[in-house]
Amino acid sequence: MDWGYSINQPRAVNLDKNDLGVAEKLLRRMPLLQACIGCGSCTATCTAGGFTSFNFRKVQTLVRRGEYQGAYEEMSKCMLCGKCRLACPRGINTRAVVMMIKKELAKQ
């Protein structure tokens, strides 16, 4: 039967069900990432973000919560210019974070 709609999937992040393996590995290698306050300076200054929908703050937050779907493709939009690293008030090596996420997710 064509109902004309389907049941929406919840968008809630369930930390008990998600596989946090990549997130834990990421934080082990880059403990300073825990200092992120989510201010969005990285995204506001992002060159790639000016031309695409790339949003570093959003993608790294989702990865840290175990939501990996589409994250590799999103991170591939980064041009690695490093402007975000200069803007980060907590001194996080954001460019390295991009590379680590891509490396770990490429294995999946």
Partner 1 sequence: MKKHSWQEYQKDVADDKYYYVRSCIRQNFFPGSEAAFLNILRNDLHRDIREDAIHTSCTGIGYHSDIVPIETIMTVVARQFALMTESGYENFASSCITSFGVYSEALEMWHEFPEMEEKTREYLYKATGREFRKPRSVAHASDIIFHHRDEIASKAKYRLVNAATGEPLRGVEHIGCHYAKIFPKNGIGGAEFPYVLAGMIEAWGGQVVDYPERRHCCGFGFRNYLVRANRGYSIANSQKKFESMAPYKPDFILTNCPGCPMFMDRWQYTIAEMEGITYGADGHGIPVLTYEELAGLVLGYDPWELGMQMHQVDVEPLLDKMGVEYDPSAKFLGKNGKYIGQPLDAAVNCGCSGSSIL
* By the rule CB under 8 A, 1 interacts with partner 1: yes
Q: Is residue 104 within 8 Å of 29, Cβ to Cβ?
A: no
Q: CB under 8 Å, gap of 24 or more: what pairs does 56-63 form?
A: 56/84, 56/94, 56/98, 59/101, 60/33, 60/36, 60/94, 60/97, 60/101, 62/13, 63/22, 63/23, 63/26, 63/101, 63/105
Q: Which is nearer to partner 1, 6 or 53 (CB)?
A: 6
Smallest distance, partner 1 to C-beta of residue 65, A: 20
* By the rule CB under 8 A, 15 interacts with partner 1: no
Smallest distance, partner 1 to C-beta of residue 15, A: 17
Stretch that binds partner 1, among 2-10, 20-28, 79-87, 95-103 (CB under 8 A): 2-10
Footprint of partner 1 on this chain (CB under 8 A)?
1, 3-10
